[in-house]
Amino acid sequence: MISRAKSEALFAESLQHIPGGVNSPVRAFRAVGGQPFFVQSAKGARVTTVDGDELIDYVGTWGPAILGHSHPKIISAVKAAADHGTSFGIPNPFEVTMARLIKSLVPNVDKVRMCNSGTEACMSAIRLARGFTRRDKFIKFDGCYHGHADCLLVKAGSGALTFGNPDSAGVPADTAKHTLVLPFNDIEALKASFAANRGEIAAVIIEPVPGNGGLYLPRPGYLEFLRQITAEQGAVLIFDEVMTGFRLAPGGAQERFGIRPDLSCFGKIIGGGLPVGAFGGRGEIMDYLAPLGPVYQAGTLSGNPLAMAAGIAALEELRAGDAYAQLEAKGAALEAGLREAAMSAGIPVTFNRCGSMFCGYFRGEPVWNLADAMKSDRERFKKYFHGMLAEGVYFAPSQFEAGFLSTAHTEADIAHTVQAAARVMKTL
């Protein structure tokens, strides 16, 4: 078991100052029950709680920690940059280096704009696509999360083909109505939506490998069809690679699947753990952005020198070695071990994986979309989550989140995880 005294005291106080005691809802453990632990420090594949417990971390701060926590090259880059100042609000050389690095790794990006979160990146990309096409409607997919901008907190409306409904209090129906929400992996739904909104759809935004409903994969041919129909219909194809970017391949999912989106959104890894977002793509679209064009977008801390220094260090380290081969091998080993653990315990599990992103669902049938994912046994997941935590392994505190491996996870870490899973699954 992990000790909790200091975390509990901190959480009790945090509840007095911060809504729900957390600065982002998923951290509150509401999906798994119990209280969150507080972290004192993190190094490599491990986090250390304020009560002194060390946990093997498969959340990796939700994706940024692809090289493990506190990678020495990232830490020294941030320290060196900090000696020269923490923010200028004036162009600095790091911004040019970062833009050049992103373009070198993602050939579909002619120009890129830095911002401060994945939410900002996706929100801005949609505004840009609307400005470029002079159309209002756009398509997103059930289970895909693109941050918390109003137009993205939308669920399929009753007239799902023609308008969306708010999925959060505070989002006006007038805002939500322009957002069309379709099931992922459903080509017929795409065809029907474009037919019902001919000439009105500005963009389609998609997580090419959705990591916010757990993890599921595009069916063969699906992304290719999406690229074809958006090109035919004059809609901007936006790949939200905030999670998959620079993780599934040096050039992200678009490299792995060989698709050329018009715009791409990035975040997480390119900040090396510091606050960052970015969006980029075809130059003729990007040049619609202020100060060149009529689409406004801005940010006090965009291109912040510390975030840029951290992200540059991360991308250069990823590019230097054989990180992607390592991540694939680690992912395959973890998958094989967890499948074996479930088999030996006689527990039906569907395990989806793409490189170093994964999700195990407590259900025997395949998971290709959110509806499938919702049928998994969440009570079993809760027991599994807490059982693994007691074994010193921290998975995401929700069935509907992806897990992340890093280059810092060792064979011993994976062996411990798999042996612990074999023990815990027998108790489910």
**Residue 304 to residue 337: CA distance in whole angstroms:** 41
**CB nearer ligand KE4, residue 214 or residue 342:** 214
Structure tokens at 47: 């986090």
To ligand KE4, the closest distance from the beta carbon of 35 in angstroms equals: 17
CA distances from 14 to 152, 194, 201, 405 (A): 29, 47, 44, 30
Residue 375 a catalytic site member: no
- Give φ, ψ of 204 to 5 degrees: -125, 125
To ligand KE4, the closest distance from the beta carbon of 199 in angstroms equals: 28
**CB nearer ligand KE4, residue 269 or residue 393:** 269
Q: Which residues bind ligand KE4 (CB under 6 A)?
A: 24, 26, 62, 117-119, 122, 145-147, 207, 211-212, 240, 242-243, 267, 401
* Residue 388: exposure state from Cβ atoms within 10 A (0-12, 13-18, ≥19): buried
Residue 57 a catalytic site member: no
**Residue 404 to residue 57: CA distance in whole angstroms:** 8
Which of 58, 142, 145, 186 is catalytic? The answer is 145
* Residue 56: exposure state from Cβ atoms within 10 A (0-12, 13-18, ≥19): buried
Per-residue burial over 143-152, b if 16 or more Cβ lie within 10 Å, else e, is bbbbbbbebb
CA distances from 29 to 25, 41, 368 (A): 8, 19, 25
**CB nearer ligand KE4, residue 26 or residue 422:** 26
CB proximity list for 6: less than 8 A, separation 6 or greater:
38, 49, 50, 51
To ligand KE4, the closest distance from the beta carbon of 414 in angstroms equals: 23
**Residue 125 to residue 154: CA distance in whole angstroms:** 17
**CB nearer ligand KE4, residue 36 or residue 166:** 36
To ligand KE4, the closest distance from the beta carbon of 212 in angstroms equals: 5
Q: In the block, which residue shows the tokens 């678009």?
A: 254
* Helix H or strand E segment including 389: helix 378-390
Residue 240 a catalytic site member: yes
To ligand KE4, the closest distance from the beta carbon of 266 in angstroms equals: 9
To ligand KE4, the closest distance from the beta carbon of 148 in angstroms equals: 7
Which of 53, 240, 262, 413 is catalytic? The answer is 240
Q: Hey, what amino acid is at 67?
A: L
**CB nearer ligand KE4, residue 37 or residue 145:** 145
Which of 137, 140, 268, 382 is catalytic? The answer is 268
**CB nearer ligand KE4, residue 58 or residue 194:** 58
Using Cβ positions, the residue closest to ligand KE4 within the complex turns out to be 118
Which residues are the active-site residues?
Answer: 145, 240, 268
